[in-house]
Amino acid sequence: MDIGRFYKRAGQAPGEILEKESAAGVTDVRLIRQSGKILDNPDIESFNLKGEQKEGWIWIDVIGLSDIKKVKDVGEKIELHSLILEDILNEGHLPKFEFSEDYKLFILKYPYFDKEKDELKLDHVVLYLKDNLIATFQEGSENHYESMLKKLENPQSTGKSTNAEYLFYRVIDFTIDQYFLIMEYLRNTIESTEDILMEEPNKNQIHVIQLIKKRIVILRKQVNFLKASLGKLLSKEVVFQDESIRMYFTDVYDHIVHVAEMLETAKDMQVALLELNISNVNNSMNRVMKTLTIVATIFIPLTFIAGIYGMNFKYMPELGWEWGYPAILSLMLILAVFMVLYIRRKGWF
């Protein structure tokens, strides 16, 4: 997701595609049939989708959105409206569900952690369902649904995969399950930060806490829109070929509600971390001040006494006393002990 990109459209006519940028990346197209036959990068032009669909569902999986021309070709083949195509290519688009009598469109983000860069990534994914055809458009070069596909191919799979709607559900469900993984990761970060704040109260963790906050903010935006989109999908206006699928979407909705709750908890915990960190910083300062005060409170009066007997008055009788020096040293010792006791009673160390 590149939030910065969106605004470049400003001033363009709606539905107009920015073809100049299409050279940069690669776009792979995959065609998967219910029978299990997979075609990599087929010749889109000569493809007969109508004929295909009779043999069960067909899945067009577009991986990478950089080759805008190719994406556009696929879009034309499956008769996408130009505004939908625009939504597909706008990688910062918020989650949305849109439907008409003909088609269902679901936009969401596939979240994962890029562990090398320690970065939260949100890959733009668009699902388009029309009769028995499902088309998915994924940002990034990796196919996020590889492992899910393997399960589908497995003949013992419990999934009743005879319907494109079920596939539509599976892809959404699989994507939302990723949010649990992300939440788990976030929870670990929060807990380890809490441990550091508890055990090493001198370490200022403000930057880590801010990073956590940023991630919560980003995820919350996604999850809230996802929740609204799924709620819309579940409304009675939306008609499914097989209405029993509705129960599965209700289940997905429960999941996203759970993720939303986890995020709220994470938010509360992040605020608690911030409070803890502030408390630590204040305590650390407090300890520094106490050390200074203890040292100063003990030694400044003693130094003053030493200063008195360092004066050069001619007539200072104590200076001539034989026991003057040890007496003064003893006085100083008594004073110091008294000071230490006084400070200790105040509970400073």
Q: What is the DSSP letter of 20?
A: G
Decide if residue 264 touches a second copy (CB under 8 A).
yes
Residues 58-87 that bind a second copy (CB under 8 A): 81, 83
Q: How many CB atoms lie within 10 A of CB 164?
A: 22
In the block, residue with structure tokens 């999941």:
255
- At closest approach, how far in Å is the CB of 46 from a second copy? 27
Q: How far is the CB of 38 from a second copy (least distance, A)?
A: 20
Per DSSP, what are the bridge partners of residue 29? 62
13 binds a second copy (CB under 8 A): yes
Kindly tell me which of 41 and 210 has the beta carbon lying closer to a second copy. Answer: 210
Residue list 157-176, contact with a second copy (CB under 8 A): 157-159, 170, 173-174
| 19 in contact with a second copy (CB under 8 A) | no
Contact between 181 and a second copy by CB under 8 A: the answer reads yes
Binding mask 302-331 for a second copy (x = CB under 8 A): xxx-xxxxxxxxxxx-xxxxxxxx--xx--
Q: Which stretch binds a second copy (CB under 8 A): 42-50, 114-122, 229-237, 276-284?
A: 276-284
**191 to 250, contacts with a second copy by CB under 8 A?**
198, 202, 204, 206-207, 210, 213-214, 217-218, 221, 225, 247-248
Smallest gap, in angstroms, from Cβ of residue 16 to a second copy? 5
Q: Which is nearer to a second copy, 27 or 222 (CB)?
A: 222
In this complex, which beta carbon is closest to a second copy, that of residue 56 or of residue 92?
92
Interface residue with a second copy, options 2, 261, 334, 338 (CB under 8 A) = 261
